[in-house]
């Protein structure tokens, strides 16, 4: 049963399992104690720290283990902001950071701090010059992911790190998605990561803070992990995390090249196999194992459900698959279609046969969902005499508003407009994205008295 | 090799190991995902929550899993204080809480809040009436451990909970040391615990917040664990924690009675076997598996080292075994001797033979340490003509100041005084404690010009 959601959590690497088992017996005691069980635990902890630091590219005393990547991000951001309080209260982040970074930013803003979001282009990448321009005086910290978790696009970390150095602003790099593939290039100041993304166990994050970076841990602390991560160390999991990081790094070059070729195949063939699809994210500067595409006129939740029935586990940034009913902030920031969104992230060892089976199954699944939703399949009908039409999609969820737009666009003459009334948050993103894909003109939106929004589209072809 | 430090960390229970192994295969995926691996993880998480809630005595939706007991305490205290901000900013704690509670109190005080410490008696217990009297208007939260981690004394939780109910103050009970032995009696509002104390794995704490308790989680949060514990769930460890809690509970009555008898034996025999020993903590209202005693004229670090060489792993609250060179705040609050302190906490399954071997080895080990330190062993020498003596112990560490006091007390006449000059923090606790043990009068202390403190003792017998 192929599992294609490695970017959420990877199955445990055999080396992680082996190390975990061994250290359940050897590493359960308190490493702060002086008796033999404690000394043994301390040795394991020290060795794990050295191995992890080597993979990260820092000194062992610059690295602490946290209970998760999320906690590493929270501790890193709050500590760095507090350490630079005298410089200013501005936090600069990309618009497509992981939610843990954005949540830390919300907390900072709620406490009176300032947060600047640097926008991204349609591929999901920030522009290094635009990022540099955001580093105004009073900036305490900048955050940039090494690669995006939803679309795989790599960020220009080395260039941004250089700009941060010039502006004397520390840069925190969230390397959660990339650390298993290799160290982060460039002069970062803080780095965070999460073991269960590379095949390590849950319960372990990494936080590296370079010597010389001002850092003031927030909240209660204790004597553990240099005062930066309170609570009894999760030692067996830490040992397993470090051992598996070393193991996946040894395989990274070969396995990365293999998965990159598989993903290239998906990127090329999905648009050939499935009509009305947009493959998103940078085609070249990207994670080796991850590809995301969006299918017009498809309900993301149904699509995931049908793929699950066929045996494929994938993820989605569509609004109907999230508890908030808003599309992924990443897709929104990129300005790309969010409906029928599918993220495929291949775990190490994924076979070509599994990918082929996925590509064989996908067209029928998408067609089935579209058919049930009554999506347009044929050529547009004859133009209506009127120059404009209004489609009332109030109360209908993604992808219905776009389906109804697509059905009637052929009924207005070239130069005429279709106004879609919708109260679904996803329409704000998906109607402009549909226009982009279809070569129609997106005129704009306006609030509608009595609720909802009117989206106006002009037919130009 | 007997390990007698279960109160720090217990070896993994076989059921925990088994459950961990099984859920490494079944529970590695993201329980928030809708595909089969995610649904399987969600089922495991839900089942673990139900089992843990049943053992705690709360509803499953009142309980969240945190990365450690320490994090549960930090989140519980900060959330409850913030939730009751309008009532006031006072936090009431016992003086002998775990350091995680006291650290959270320090953070609260640093942010402008008020912290009241309720003192304990010589057994380590708070007085319920004194605790009730501390619940003045403006109290946002009270914290009381179920039983003390260093001396095993049980606190009057049910009476204090009743007083809290009457004062309309929520009570947080840190049940880290006792939850494996049984549920906490009385009407607590919040409860915290730590899995590795009952034989579960590291990396799992519990935080229960009763419905109706005002609670506002602090810091960045996400959609996991009801917004009270951000970051990817450590699912295999959570499953193992819940399974082992149920397993140890099933054995608790029989094993508790067995260990209680072994500890009764230690409590009775140590003072018979070793001269100049004080057994501390309540003899009856106590944890079944834990006993603490202090040996006069002994350096705690050397004692632990010698016991380790003999194969026994124990813990100590002596100042010379801590990184801060101050004695345990618990022993200090109790006003008992801290030098030569030994905590013995028996893991489940400890054999009577191991305890007998410990008792056989202990007298020789203590005598050896005393001999090397030149501790007094014989009757006091003849009284000196002078009515008072000054002993200069400046620059000497515990237990030397007390040893030097004991050596000269016989040289002054009854009614005369010995003044000990010391700059060791432990002397502040240990000189009065020695007086209590020896039936001499502790007159008081005064700062000494040029550094250190003068402690005055009057010979009365």
B333-348 pLDDT per residue, tens: 999 999 999 999 999 9
Q: How confident is the model at residue A190 (pLDDT cuts 50, 70, 90)?
A: very high
Can you tell me the mean pLDDT for B384-399?
84
* DSSP at B183: P
For the beta carbon of residue A384, count every other beta carbon within 10 angstroms.
14
**pLDDT tens column, A215-257:** 999 999 999 999 999 999 999 999 999 999 999 999 999 999 9
* Average pLDDT, rounded, for chain B: 94
Contact A33 B5 (CB under 8 A): yes
Percent of chain B with pLDDT over 90: 89
Rounded Cα distance between B327 and B321, Å, is: 8
Which chain A residue lies closest to B22 (C-alpha atoms)?
A17
Rounded Cα distance between A199 and A13, Å, is: 5
Which chain B residue lies closest to A5 (C-alpha atoms)?
B29
- The helix/strand/coil state of B392 is strand
Instruction: Check CB contact of A332 with chain B, cutoff 8 Å.
Output: no
Rounded Cα distance between A141 and B332, Å, is: 43
Give me the pLDDT at residue B384, please.
Answer: 53
Give me the pLDDT at residue B408, please.
Answer: 92
CB pairs under 8 A between A and B: 194
Instruction: Check CB contact of B78 with chain A, cutoff 8 Å.
Output: yes
Q: How confident is the model at residue A1 (pLDDT cuts 50, 70, 90)?
A: confident
- Tokens 């995680």 belong to residue: B100
Q: How confident is the model at residue A320 (pLDDT cuts 50, 70, 90)?
A: confident
Give me the pLDDT at residue A385, please.
Answer: 56
Q: How confident is the model at residue B383 (pLDDT cuts 50, 70, 90)?
A: low
* Average pLDDT, rounded, for chain A: 94
Instruction: Check CB contact of B174 with chain A, cutoff 8 Å.
Output: no
Q: How many CA atoms are closer than 13 Å to the CA of A443, on its beta-carbon side?
A: 14
| Least trusted range by pLDDT, from A353-357, A365-369, A410-414 | A410-414
Give me the pLDDT at residue B139, please.
Answer: 98
Give me the pLDDT at residue B380, please.
Answer: 46
Show the tokens assigned to B111.
């942010």
Contact A313 B9 (CB under 8 A): no
- A280 CB-near residues (< 8 Å, 6+ apart): A122, A123, A124, A151, A292, A293, A294, A331, A334, A336, A337
Contact B308 A33 (CB under 8 A): no
Q: Is the pLDDT of residue A387 over 90?
A: no
- The helix/strand/coil state of B73 is helix
Can you tell me the mean pLDDT for A450-458?
92
Rounded Cα distance between A330 and A341, Å, is: 12
Among residues B435, B265, B234, B241, which one has the least CA distance to residue B344? B265
Rounded Cα distance between B148 and B178, Å, is: 9
Give me the pLDDT at residue A7, please.
Answer: 95
Q: Which residues of A touch B25 (CB under 8 A)?
A: 12
Q: Is the pLDDT of residue B442 over 60?
A: yes
**pLDDT tens column, A60-72:** 999 999 999 999 9
- Tokens 């640097």 belong to residue: A118
Q: Is the pLDDT of residue A380 over 50?
A: no
Q: Which of A9, A231, A315 sits opposite B68 (nearest CB)?
A: A231
* Count of all residues that appear for chain A in the document: 461
Query: What residues 123-142 of chain B have any CB closer than 8 A to a CB of chain A?
Result: none
Can you tell me the mean pLDDT for A282-311?
95
Q: What domains can you pick out in chain A, each with its CATH number? A: 14-248 (3.40.640.10), 255-373 (3.90.1150.10), 388-458 (3.30.110.40)
Integer angstrom CA distances of residue A159 from A127, A166, A183, A208: 9, 11, 16, 20
Q: Which of A24, A29, A222 sits opposite B99 (nearest CB)?
A: A222
Rg (CA), chain B: 24
Contact B222 A69 (CB under 8 A): no
Q: Is the pLDDT of residue A378 over 70?
A: no
Run of H or E including B282: none
Max intra-chain CA distance, chain B: 89
Give me the pLDDT at residue B377, please.
Answer: 67
Q: What sections of B111-228 are H helices per DSSP?
A: 128-134, 157-167
Catalytic residue among B58, B143, B320, B398: B320
Does residue B23 come out as left (phi exceeding 0), alpha (psi in the -120 to 50 range) or beta?
alpha
Q: How confident is the model at residue A186 (pLDDT cuts 50, 70, 90)?
A: confident
Which chain A residue lies closest to B17 (C-alpha atoms)?
A24
Instruction: Check CB contact of B71 with chain A, cutoff 8 Å.
Output: yes
Tell me which long-range contacts A219-223 makes (C-beta under 8 A, separation of at least 24). Answer: A219/A78, A219/B74, A219/B78, A219/B107, A219/B219, A220/B74, A220/B100, A220/B103, A220/B104, A220/B106, A220/B107, A221/B103, A222/B70, A222/B99, A222/B100, A222/B103, A223/A32, A223/B323
Q: Which residue spans within B135-260 are E strands per DSSP?
A: 139-145, 171-174, 190-194, 205-209
Q: How confident is the model at residue A176 (pLDDT cuts 50, 70, 90)?
A: very high
Q: Is the pLDDT of residue A382 over 90?
A: no
**pLDDT tens column, B198-242:** 999 999 999 999 999 999 999 999 999 999 999 999 999 999 999
Q: Which residues of A are catalytic?
A: 320
Query: Closest approach of chain A CAs to the CA of B33, in angstroms?
Result: 8
Rounded Cα distance between B269 and B250, Å, is: 30
Q: How confident is the model at residue B25 (pLDDT cuts 50, 70, 90)?
A: confident
Q: Which residues of A touch B220 (CB under 8 A)?
A: 74, 100, 103-104, 106-107
Can you tell me the mean pLDDT for B117-127?
97
Q: Is the pLDDT of residue B29 over 90?
A: yes
**pLDDT tens column, A130-151:** 999 999 999 999 999 999 999 9
Which chain B residue lies closest to A194 (C-alpha atoms)?
B232
Can you tell me the mean pLDDT for B84-106?
97
Rounded Cα distance between B262 and B357, Å, is: 12
């Amino acid at each position: 049963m192929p599992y294609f959601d490695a970017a959420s959590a990877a199955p445990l690497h055999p080396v992680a399992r082996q190390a975990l088992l061994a250290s359940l017996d050897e590493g359960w005691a308190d490493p702060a104690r002086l008796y033999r069980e404690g000394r043994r635990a301390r040795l394991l902890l020290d060795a794990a720290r050295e191995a992890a630091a080597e993979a990260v590219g820092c000194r062992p005393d610059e690295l602490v283990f946290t209970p998760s990547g999320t906690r590493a991000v929270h501790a890193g951001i709050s500590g760095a902001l507090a350490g630079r309080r005298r410089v200013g209260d501005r936090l600069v982040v990309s618009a497509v950071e992981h939610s843990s970074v954005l949540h830390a930013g919300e907390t900072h803003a709620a406490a009176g701090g300032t947060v600047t979001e640097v926008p991204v282009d349609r591929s999901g990448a920030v522009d290094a010059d635009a990022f540099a321009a955001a580093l105004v005086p009073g900036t305490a910290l900048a955050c940039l992911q090494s690669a995006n978790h939803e679309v795989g696009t790599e960020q220009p970390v080395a260039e941004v790190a250089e700009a941060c150095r010039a502006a004397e602003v520390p840069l925190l790099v969230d390397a959660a998605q990339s650390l298993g593939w290799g160290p982060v290039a460039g002069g970062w100041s803080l780095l965070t990561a999460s073991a269960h993304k590379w095949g390590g166990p849950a319960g372990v994050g990494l936080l590296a803070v370079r010597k010389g970076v001002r850092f003031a841990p927030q909240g209660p602390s204790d004597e553990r992990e240099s005062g930066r991560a309170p609570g009894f160390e999760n030692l067996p999991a830490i040992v397993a995390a470090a051992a598996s990081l070393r193991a996946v790094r040894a395989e990274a070059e070969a396995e990365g090249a293999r998965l990159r070729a598989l993903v290239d195949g998906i990127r090329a063939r999905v648009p050939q196999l499935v009509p009305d699809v947009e493959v998103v994210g940078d085609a070249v500067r990207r994670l080796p194992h991850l590809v995301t595409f969006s299918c017009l006129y498809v309900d993301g939740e149904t699509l995931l459900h049908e793929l699950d029935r066929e045996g494929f586990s994938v993820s989605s940034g569509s609004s109907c698959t999230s508890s908030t009913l808003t599309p992924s902030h990443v897709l929104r920031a990129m300005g790309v279609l969010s409906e029928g969104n599918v993220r495929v992230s291949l775990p190490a060892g994924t076979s070509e046969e599994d990918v082929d089976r996925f590509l064989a199954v996908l067209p029928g699944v998408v067609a089935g969902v579209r058919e049930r939703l009554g999506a347009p399949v044929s050529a547009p009908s004859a133009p209506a005499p009127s120059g404009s039409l209004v489609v009332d999609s109030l109360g209908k969820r993604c992808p219905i508003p776009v389906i109804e737009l697509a059905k009637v666009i052929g009924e207005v003459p070239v130069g005429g407009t279709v106004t879609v009334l919708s109260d679904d948050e996803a329409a704000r993103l998906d109607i402009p994205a549909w226009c982009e894909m279809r070569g129609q003109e997106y005129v704009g939106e306006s609030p509608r008295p009595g609720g909802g929004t009117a989206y106006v589209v002009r037919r130009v072809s």
